[in-house]
Structure 1
C-alpha cells in the first residue's frame, strides 16, 4: 500500500492505493482532476466558472465539471427537501465566509447582518443539450456542501478503473473508496478534524463513502457570536450547534456528506431522519455524547467523546 497527500481546493487531499506501483500515476490523475474542479467550482476565484455564472446570472456552454457539479447539488437539495441548498452564496458572504477559509479573519468586532435565503434552488434552470445555466435574480451559488464529496467519488472511481487497484480518496473528511479494498478494509479514524490522529473512532471501510460534517472545525468570531460554515437555509445563519459533528456511511460519499450536512441543520430531529433512511451514522453532541444510528459499529470504549 502507498499513500500521498497535498493541499488542494482549500483542504488536504489524501490518496491511498493498494498497489505501490500505481501511486505516481494515481497522484497525477487526482491532482489534475482537483485542479479542474477548483477552476470550475471555486467560490473564491474570480476566474472560476462558478464566479462568472454568479456574476452574470448564468451562462451557456459552461464548463462540464461545473455543470455536473451543479446537477449533483440540485439533486441533493431535492433529496433533502432543501436542507442542503446550493443557493446560499450570498448568505455565506454575509457571515464572513467570503474567501478561502485560511484567509478568513478569525475575529472581528463587526456584527453579522444575515442575508435571508431566497429558497430558490427549484427555480434554477439547467439545459443539458447546451450546458446552459439560468439563475433566479439575486441568487449566488455555493457548492461547498456537495462538490467536494462528489469529487471524491469521481476521483476514486476514475483512478480505480484506470489503474485496476484499490483506491481511497479523502478530501478534507469526505472519503470515497473504489476497487478492491485491503483484506481488513481501509482503517479510517472518524473525528471532527481529519488532521488529528487521536480521538474519535476507528472503523473499517470496504466500499462506498464516508463523510463527516462539523460545526467546530471551521469557525470564526464576529462580535459576540461564534460562527461556522454549515448554514440553516431557513435563516441564512449557521445551524444551531446541537451536534459537534456527524459522520455518515453510505453507498457513495456524496450521499454520505449530503446526509451529514442535513443532520447538522436538523439538530435534534437528525437521528430519526437518518434512521428513516437507513443511513449508518455517528453523531457527537455538543457535550460529547455519542449516538450511533442504523448499524454504525459499536464503540469499543466510551459513549462520550472528550472535546
Structure 2
C-alpha cells in the first residue's frame, strides 16, 4: 500500500470570529487579521459550498473560479445527470471503451488511487450498491421520498472492484465491465475543492479556503494564525460555541465523513451513503464521524471514508498512515490519532 501524504493540523489560539456555515461537517471561521476574509455561501453539488478569500478585494475573482470548477466537475462526474460524462460512460458498460475528458480522467485516477491506497475500502464501483440501497437519485429527492413508497432494498452484493475498470491513461479510454457503474461522488467533490482552492489562490494572490460539504481545501497565504475550523456532525447545527472542537490549518486538506446527515429509511432500516465494497451494504455502526487532515482534500477524504468502512480496524489503519485524525464513535466517545489536538486543548 502506498502512503498517503500527511497534512498538518494545529491548535487554534485565540477566540474565533463569526462562525460560517461550511457544509456537511465543518464550520470554517477566519481568525481576524488585517481584514476580515470575504465569505460566499451557496448551494452546489447537492450540498453547501463555502468560499473564504483572505483579501476581500479579490473575492469576486475567486468566486468565479470556484463556480467554474463546480460546473465543470458536475458536468464530468455527476451520476444524477444523464448528460454527464460519467453517466455516458456508465451507460456504455460492457459494450465499448469511451473516450473521456482530461477532467474526468483526473477524477477517475483520483478514485482509482483511493482504491489502491485503501485496499479497496474506498471503491469507485459502488454505484450499483448505493443505488440498490435507495440512493438512486439526488439526496434531496431521496430525503423527500416517503419510506412507505419504497420496498426493501435488494439483497446486498459485493462490488465489482478495480478489476471491472479498464483504464488507458495514455489514450484516455475507459471501459467498464457489464453491470458496472462508477460513483465518483466522494473523491470528485474533494478533487473539486482542491482544484478550486489552488486555482483561485494562484489567480488572486492570497489565501483561499474552499469547503464543499465537509471536504475542505486551503491554498495560498492564510490569515494570521491560519484558518480556524470547527468540527461538527451536521452543517445545519448551531454555530461553533463552547464545547465545539476547533482546529486551525494553513494549507492542504481536511475532510469529515459521517453517517448522520445523508441517511434515509427503507425496508425498516436506517441507511446511509457509505457502502462497504466487500458486502455492498452499509458497514457496521462503529464511527459516527471521522475527520482527517492530509496534504490534499482528496487524500483526507480517502482516509476519512475508509475509516468509516473499516470500522474497528480503522484506528490501526490510520496509525499506519500517520495522518492526524479525530474519530467519534456512535456513543459519542472520541479517539484522537497522530497530531490531532484533543478537544478543548486548543482554546
TM superposition score normalised by structure 1: 0.94
In structure 1, the residue matched to 2:147 is: 107
1:89 and 2:133 equivalent?
no
**Matches of 1:120 and 1:168 in 2, distance apart?**
33
- What's the counterpart of residue 180 of structure 2? 139
Aligned residues: 301
Deviates more, 1:187-196 or 1:143-152: 187-196
Deviations 1:218-267 (A, max 9, x none): 00001211000000011111122111110001111111110000000111
Would the aligned equivalents of 1:87 and 1:117 in 2 still touch at CA under 8 Å? Answer: no
Counterpart of 1:72 (choices 93, 107, 110) is 110
Q: List structure 1 segments (4+ residues) > 4 angstroms apart after TM superposition.
A: none
CA distance in 2, matches of 1:118, 1:61: 24
Q: Please tell me whether residue 185 in structure 1 is matched to residue 221 in structure 2.
A: no
Contact 2:76 2:84 in 1 (8 A): yes
After superposition, residues 1-307 of structure 1 pair within 5 angstroms as: 1-57=37-93, 59-104=97-142, 105=145, 107-108=147-148, 110-196=151-237, 197-198=239-240, 200-300=244-344
Deviation per CA, 1:137-181, whole angstroms, max 9, x where unpaired?
A: 211000012111111111101111111110000000000000011
Q: Deviations over 1:255-292 (max 9, x none)?
A: 11100000001111111111111111000101100110
CA distance in 2, matches of 1:45, 1:114: 26
**Distance of 1:229 and 1:185 partners within structure 2:** 32
In structure 2, the partner of 1:304 is none
1:114 CA displacement: 3.3
Please identify, of 29-38 and 123-132, the stretch whose mean Cα deviation from structure 2 is larger.
123-132
Q: Which residue of 2 aligns with 1:305?
A: none
Q: Distance in 1 between matches of 2:287 and 2:146?
A: 22
Decide whether the 8 Å contact of 2:167 with 2:174 is kept in 1.
Answer: yes
Query: CA-atom RMSD, angstroms?
Result: 1.4
Which runs of 5 or more structure 1 residues have no equivalent in the other structure?
Answer: 302-307
Which moved further from structure 2: 193-202 or 144-153? Answer: 193-202
Structure 2: runs of 5 or more not aligned: 1-36
TM-score (norm 2): 0.84
Question: Could you tell me how far apart the structure 2 residues matched to 1:253 and 1:270 are?
Answer: 19
Secondary structure (helix, strand or coil) at the match of 2:48 reads strand
Compute the displacement of 1:115 (Å). Answer: 4.2
Query: Are 1:70 and 1:143, in contact at CA under 8 Å, matched by a contact in 2?
Result: yes
